[in-house]
């Protein structure tokens, strides 16, 4: 599940006419960075939720490389992370679910993340949370871990938190957790209504690669210099239009 419905209000005026999930990062749309990493894992059943400027996101997803691999679902109103999972329960039922907040740039060893969840996570853990070290812990959700690297406490955007290990908002969810959520249709907020219920049952895996919130223009510009992608072959029609987009040209000039 790639959550790509955000409004991107902190990126205005860039997001007045272009969705946050398609912002260029080193010449590549953020959502495509995510999907390419997901496909590299052998995952072929992907759901993307859409809300803001949906026609532009649908146009992006309606490319041959995504056909038969990615489904999209339009949310007339934002449902919240847990609400989106509930709304699409039948898509995920019975399966381990990779849940991604697609408004962050993340490049890491996802195969190791998945291997940890299936083969190494502590017994009794119902989900695995990706974490990362942040230079600004007061702006993030900081986690405290026990001796097994299981979450024992959260500190959400507080002054002087006890450490700099942050929640990356990327999870592997067991089928049992989805069943728990399905039995509670009133829940919509994953961070505040789900995670606190599973303290002591949340395994963690630290991302030592790239992790950056591109939610403001300063961070988006920094992201241009953090990753590089190899040149692709022949461009399709969407890519040709994308490269003539003023936002593409603006951010490319700042790389």
pLDDT tens digits, one per residue of 83-120: 999 999 999 999 999 999 998 999 999 999 999 999 99
As a whole number of angstroms, the longest Cα–Cα distance in the chain is 52
95 in a structural domain = yes
Position 131 pLDDT exceeds 90: yes
Pairing relationship of beta strands 165-173 and 127-133 according to DSSP bridges:
antiparallel
Report the CATH number that the domain containing residue 192 is assigned in CATH: 3.90.550.10
Task: Give residue 229's pLDDT.
Answer: 84
User: Domain total for the chain?
Assistant: 1
235 in a structural domain = yes
119 in a structural domain = no
More confident residue, 156 or 183: 183
State the average pLDDT over residues 125-153. Answer: 93
Position 153 pLDDT exceeds 80: yes
Task: Give residue 136's pLDDT.
Answer: 84
State the average pLDDT over residues 219-223. Answer: 90
64 in a structural domain = yes
Cβ burial 31-41 (10 Å sphere, 16+ → b, else e): bbbbbebbeee
pLDDT band at 200 (very low <50, low <70, confident <90, very high): very high
Lowest pLDDT segment from 156-170, 223-237, 239-253: 223-237
Structure tokens at 233: 């072959």
Q: Which residue segment(s) compose the domain that 46 sits in?
A: 2-107+169-200+210-253
DSSP string computed for 34-99: HHHHHHHTT---EEEEE-SSHHHHHHHHTSGGGTTTEEEEE-SS---HHHHHHHTHHHHTTS-EEE
State the average pLDDT over residues 53-59. Answer: 96
Task: Give residue 233's pLDDT.
Answer: 67
Structure tokens at 122: 């502590």
pLDDT band at 207 (very low <50, low <70, confident <90, very high): very high
State the average pLDDT over residues 227-254. Answer: 84
CB 31 within 8 A of CB 75: no
Position 255 pLDDT exceeds 70: no
What average pLDDT is seen over the chain? 92
Q: How far apart are CA 152 and CA 199, in angstroms?
A: 5
Q: Is the backbone peptide bond immediately before 202 cis, with ω within 30 degrees of 0? A: no
Residues forming a β-bridge with 213: 104
Task: Give residue 213's pLDDT.
Answer: 86
159 in a structural domain = no
Structure tokens at 49: 């939720």
Position 55 pLDDT exceeds 90: yes
Answer whether 0.85 is exceeded by the pTM: yes
Q: Name 202's Cβ contacts closer than 8 Å, sequence gap at least 6.
A: 125, 126, 127, 128, 129, 150, 151, 195
Of the ranges 20-34, 151-165, 225-239, the best mean pLDDT one: 20-34
**Three-point CA angle 242, 243, 245, nearest 5°:** 65
117 in a structural domain = no
Dihedral sign of CA atoms 82, 88, 89, 95 in order:
negative
């Amino acid at each position: 599940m790639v959550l790509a419905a955000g409004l991107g209000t902190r990126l205005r005026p860039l997001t007045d006419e272009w969705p946050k999930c398609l912002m260029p990062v080193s010449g590549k749309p953020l959502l495509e960075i995510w999907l390419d990493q997901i496909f590299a894992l052998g995952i072929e059943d992907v759901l993307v939720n859409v809300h803001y400027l949906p026609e532009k996101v649908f146009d992006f997803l309606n490319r041959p490389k995504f056909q038969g691999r990615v489904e999209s679902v339009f949310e007339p109103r934002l449902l919240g992370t847990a609400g989106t999972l509930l709304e699409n329960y039948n898509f995920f039922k019975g399966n381990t679910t990779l849940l991604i907040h697609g408004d962050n740039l993340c490049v890491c060893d996802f195969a190791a993340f998945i291997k940890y969840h299936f083969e190494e996570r502590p017994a009794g853990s119902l989900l695995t949370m990706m974490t990362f070290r942040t230079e600004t812990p007061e702006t993030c959700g900081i986690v405290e871990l026990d001796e097994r690297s299981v979450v024992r406490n959260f500190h959400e955007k507080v002054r002087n938190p006890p450490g700099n290990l942050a929640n990356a908002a990327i999870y592997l969810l067991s089928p049992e957790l989805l069943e728990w959520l399905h039995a509670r249709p009133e829940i919509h907020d994953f961070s505040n209504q789900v995670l606190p219920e599973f303290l002591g049952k949340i395994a963690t895996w630290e991302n030592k690669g790239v992790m950056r919130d591109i939610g403001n223009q300063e961070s988006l510009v920094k992201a241009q210099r953090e990753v590089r992608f190899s040149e692709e072959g022949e461009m399709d029609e969407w890519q040709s239009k994308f490269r003539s987009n003023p936002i593409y040209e603006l951010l490319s000039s700042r790389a």
